[in-house]
Structures are given as structure tokens and as C-alpha cells.
Amino acid sequence: MSEELKDKFGRSYKYLRISVTDRCNFKCKYCIPNDDFRYLSHNKILSYEEMLLAADVFAQLGVNKVRITGGEPLVRKNISFFLKKVKDIPGIREVTLTTNGSLLHKFAKDIHEAGINRINVSLDSLREDRYSFITGGFDLKTIINGINIAKKEGIKPIKVNTVVIRGFNDDEIIDFCDFAANNDIVVRFIEFMPIGNSAGWHKDNIVTGKEIIDIISKKYSLEKVERKEMDGPAKNFKLAGGGMVGVITPISQHFCSECDKIRLTADGKIRPCLLSDDEIDVREIIRSGSTEDIKNKIRESLNIKQEEHHLSNRSCRELYKRTMSRIGG
């Protein structure tokens, strides 16, 4: 029987997010800080074998869900092999994937055959010019095509993650709802957070979850969906006519008391909170192969986790020094 992993505030941890790479083929405006950004050297990135060892230890401590992230995870070689290996770890009930969608048209079949049935696609605009602008020149049609191919392969649910930014894409909220309804997918609207290129983050850019729901309600009748154990932090609603939307509110209504996530970065750091720079370096301990030492470091990492984040303080945006591509989202 696995051990139950808890922090000093009594929160249980069942959900591990593994960043397999800090590399990404996009240069999103709110993620990559500047043109001088450099990726980590190869020897600083954990191998698949090292990540699998860590994931197995987390499973021994009660983790039963793993999400694979990046950077962009599909740019790492042999990612399908890794996904299947994670799926085969005893105690892991579900493995999911977050992607920018640019390579879905190539990898959807392999992902599904590896046993991955649920994916999240980051998509911040349905307008070609805006999408190209925010991603650094990528083609929206490729992403939509990838989503359609993933649907045909039988991957379901497909969740589209949309960061809502006032003055940039807040006029597309209804468009995204129509996209969800017409394609029988889930669109999750996320409040804009001060991570990555924090110089471009301002409180005035935040569109709160309440505002988002109010906008949607002007066109759609919403039926609240009760949360299940593996659902995550979103407040979900069925749309009349099909599809579903969710709202994730890390700023206006944080969910720290219910947090069950812990993160392993590509360079071997355990990060117990996305919205804090507190982390513990475990790369060399993982490379030594000592299961008990890894367990002790995991427990230690939860001791540095605060009861809640402090994003209500505007000055906190200066604290987040690591880009989203290095954190793992």
C-alpha cells in the first residue's frame, strides 16, 4: 500500500506534473522574456530514465495522476515511448499531456497508442493575425487541424486552455464558447498570471472569472458541472447545444486550500507551487538512484510550500524568475 503524501497544512498530493523539456518551438509574448533567452544545456536536463525513476517514487508516495508538459513536450525525441512508460508505472491511474498543438497532426496517433486519452491544448486566439503575433509567427490552421486529427484518433476529452488578457483577446470569449459548442470540446479560460515575461503583466490586464462567466451568460445558458476527483481546479459548465467551458481563477479566487499538485522540472527541481520560486534541486539525488533519498527530498519540498500564494500583492510579479517553459505549467 502506498504512503499518503501530505504537507504541513494537511493537503494531500496525488498529481505530478513533469516537464520533459524547457524547449519550445513557440516564442509566446508572455512566456519567453526576451530575444537573448537561452535554453538549458543537455547535461542539465533529466533523461527519460531519471524522470521515470522519479515518477515511480512519487507513485510509491501516493501520486496517481501525471501530466506531461514542457516547454513543448512533443519536441523531445521519443516522447511517445516515454508516455507509455509513465502509463505503465504501478499506481498511476491517468497520464495526460499539455501541448501547444503545433505537432499534434504528426503525433496524435502515437500519443493515443501510448495510452493517452486526455490532452490540453494551449490556444489564446482564434484569429490568425493575433495567434501569429502572440506565438511568434505560428499558423493557427495547423493547430486547428491537429485538434481535429486528435479527435479522429479518439482522444477525448480535448481541453483548450485560453489565457484571457484584457485588451488582447477578451473580445474572443464568445468565439471560444462557439468553438467549444461546435466541436464538442472543453475550453478553459484562465486568468492572466505573472509568470515568465512578467514585465508584460499588469493587474489591469486581468479579466476575472466572474467577468468571463458574465460575458458567456449573455449568449449561453450554463449548467454547472460537479467536480470529480481528477478534474483539477476549473469550475466547469455545460453549454446549451454541446461542449463545455471552465474558468480557472488563480488571481481572483485562488484554490490553494485544494491544491494537490507538485512539479518536477526538466532540470530536476521539485517545485511545490507554480506561483512561487521556492524549489528543491533533486537532479543529483535522482541520478544517484537512491529511492529513499528521493522520497525524503519530496517530503522536504512540501515543507517549504506556503499555505497560499500572494498574487494579490502587485509587487509579487518580480518574484517569478523562471519562465513557464522551465517550470512546466
Cell representation of residue 208: 476575472
Apex CA 206: angle with CA 201 and CA 207, to 5°? 155
CB 184 within 8 A of CB 225: no
**pLDDT reported for residue 9:** 87
Beta pairing, strands 261-264 & 235-239: unpaired
Kindly state the DSSP code that residue 322 receives in the 8-state scheme: S
The model carries a pTM of 0.90
Closest alpha carbon to 135 in 101, 177, 104 = 101
Helix (H, G, I), strand (E, B), or coil: what is residue 6?
A: strand
| Start-to-end CA span in the chain (Å) | 30
Cell representation of residue 244: 463545455
pLDDT band, very low/low/confident/very high, at 195 (cuts 50, 70, 90): low
Kindly state the DSSP code that residue 172 receives in the 8-state scheme: G
320 carries a ligand binding annotation: no
Backbone φ/ψ region at 78: left (φ over 0), alpha (ψ -120 to 50), beta: left
Q: Lowest-confidence range among 167-181, 219-233, 264-278?
A: 219-233
Largest CA distance in the chain: 57
Q: What is the mean pLDDT of residues 161-182?
A: 96
87 carries a ligand binding annotation: no
Q: How many angstroms separate the CA atoms of 11 and 6, rounded?
A: 5
Could you report the per-residue pLDDT of 116-147, keeping only the tens digit for each?
Answer: 999 999 999 999 999 999 898 999 999 999 99
Q: How many angstroms separate the CA atoms of 235 and 245, rounded?
A: 8
Neighbours of 152 (CB within 10 A): 11
76 carries a ligand binding annotation: no
Q: How many angstroms separate the CA atoms of 261 and 12, rounded?
A: 9
Greater confidence (230 vs 269) lies with: 269
pLDDT band, very low/low/confident/very high, at 193 (cuts 50, 70, 90): confident
12 carries a ligand binding annotation: no
24 carries a ligand binding annotation: yes
The residue extents of the domains of the chain are 15-326
Q: Which residues contact 16 (CB under 8 A, 6 or more apart)?
A: 55, 58, 63, 65, 66, 67, 261, 262, 263, 264
Instruction: For 15-326, give the CATH class.
Output: alpha beta
Name the packing angle between helices 140-153 and 128-135 (round to 10°): 100
**pLDDT reported for residue 316:** 42
1 carries a ligand binding annotation: no
Closest alpha carbon to 57 in 115, 116, 5 = 5
177 carries a ligand binding annotation: no
21 carries a ligand binding annotation: no
Q: Which amino acid is at 311?
A: L
Could you report the per-residue pLDDT of 13-44, keeping only the tens digit for each?
Answer: 999 999 999 998 887 766 665 566 677 888 99
**pLDDT reported for residue 252:** 81
**pLDDT reported for residue 38:** 75
203 carries a ligand binding annotation: no
Closest alpha carbon to 45 in 21, 67, 28 = 21
Neighbours of 4 (CB within 10 A): 10
**pLDDT reported for residue 35:** 60
Helix (H, G, I), strand (E, B), or coil: what is residue 237?
A: strand
CB 22 within 8 A of CB 71: yes
Greater confidence (205 vs 63) lies with: 63
Could you report the per-residue pLDDT of 258-309, keeping only the tens digit for each?
Answer: 788 999 999 999 998 877 778 999 999 999 989 999 999 999 998 888 776 5
Percent of the chain topping pLDDT 90: 66
Greater confidence (28 vs 244) lies with: 244
**pLDDT reported for residue 25:** 87
Residue for grid cell 503525433 = 107
